[in-house]
């Protein structure tokens, strides 16, 4: 298997702090709808593991899931904004490239054991059990301005031609910042690779400390209800 990765991060791309508030419905932008739809189709890419455990697509899918989820929750953080407080919002992602053999396959599991180079490493596994994709992946790398970054992906999701169900936990930590992002799929019905039922719940908590920007933490929740047709959805959000 040939695989490598570069992890990048943009720190303080926005300045905001979530204020309290209940979950309320809002009218999503076309960009938000596109990212919600993309998150489900990117998750479907995990199906590749069923036929090719050595494929690079699963790590790329995790990166795409993370980026769409961060976009949706960052938009909600802006709706939650308090004009009296600020906090740097974090974002990041992986760019894959090939460099050499780095994974071993045993049965239905692919394992990464210190796969990497002088700037990055990956440890952990993907495992397939029927339609269930399980994972526990840790990626360590140099990010923006040589900040040491640690990404973690954990969870189990049913991924089939007709259903997404389960949960992923995604986290990023650096010297002075961190976020945790929970992605929960609740009986999302798939028809022709499009979500037509069920719901998606995203929760993010971010924290920045020891910088000239601000210190503290901020959170946001976004709920997407899909259907009844492809492309149709409603959204709710809050802290």
Stated pTM of the model: 0.84
pLDDT (0 to 100) of residue 16: 37
More confident residue, 188 or 210: 188
- Count of domains forming the chain: 1
- Examine the pLDDT at 234 and tell me if it is beyond 60: yes
Q: Which domain holds residue 172?
A: 2-238
CA separation for the pair 31, 184 (Å, rounded): 20
Confidence of residue 167 (pLDDT cuts 50, 70, 90): very high
CA separation for the pair 122, 152 (Å, rounded): 10
C-alpha distances out from residue 34 to 38, 71, 149, 204, Å: 6, 11, 28, 19
- Examine the pLDDT at 213 and tell me if it is beyond 80: no
- Residue whose structure tokens are 């945790």: 180
Confidence of residue 91 (pLDDT cuts 50, 70, 90): very low
Torsion of CA 60, 45, 155, 2, to 10 degrees: -40
Cis geometry, peptide bond prior to residue 228 (ω within 30 degrees of 0) = yes
- Residue whose structure tokens are 């900040």: 147
DSSP-derived 3-state class of residue 1: coil
What percent of the chain stands above pLDDT 70? 77
pLDDT (0 to 100) of residue 17: 37
The string of pLDDT tens digits covering residues 131-143 is 999 999 998 887 6
For residues 137 and 152, the answer to whether their CB atoms sit within 8 Å is yes
CA separation for the pair 161, 131 (Å, rounded): 9
3-state secondary structure 166-230: EEEEEEEECCCEEEEEEEEEEEEEEECCEEEEEEEEEEEEEEECCCCCCCEEEEEEEEEEECCCC
C-alpha distances out from residue 106 to 109, 126, 158, Å: 5, 11, 21
């Amino acid at each position: 298997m040939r695989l490598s990765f570069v992890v990048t991060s943009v720190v303080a791309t926005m300045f905001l702090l979530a204020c309290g508030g209940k979950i309320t419905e809002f009218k999503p932008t076309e960009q938000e709808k596109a990212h919600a739809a993309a998150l489900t189709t990117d998750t479907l890419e995990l199906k590749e593991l069923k036929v090719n455990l050595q494929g690079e697509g699963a790590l790329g899918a995790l990166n795409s899931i993370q980026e769409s989820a961060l976009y949706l929750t960052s938009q909600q953080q802006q709706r939650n904004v308090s004009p009296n407080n600020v906090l740097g919002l974090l974002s990041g992602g992986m760019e894959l490239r090939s460099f050499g053999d780095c994974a071993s396959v045993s049965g239905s599991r692919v394992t990464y054991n210190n796969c990497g180079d002088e700037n990055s490493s990956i440890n952990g596994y993907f495992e397939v059990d029927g339609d269930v994709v399980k994972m526990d992946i840790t990626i360590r790398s140099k990010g923006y301005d040589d900040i040491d970054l640690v990404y973690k992906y954990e969870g189990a999701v049913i991924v089939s031609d007709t259903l997404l169900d389960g949960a992923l936990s995604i986290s990023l930590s650096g010297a002075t910042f961190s976020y945790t992002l929970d992605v929960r799929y609740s009986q999302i019905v798939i028809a022709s690779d499009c979500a037509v039922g069920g719901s998606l719940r995203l929760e993010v908590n971010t924290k920045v400390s020891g910088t000239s920007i601000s210190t503290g933490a901020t959170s946001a929740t976004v709920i997407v209800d899909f259907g009844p047709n492809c492309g149709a959805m409603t959204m709710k959000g809050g802290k």
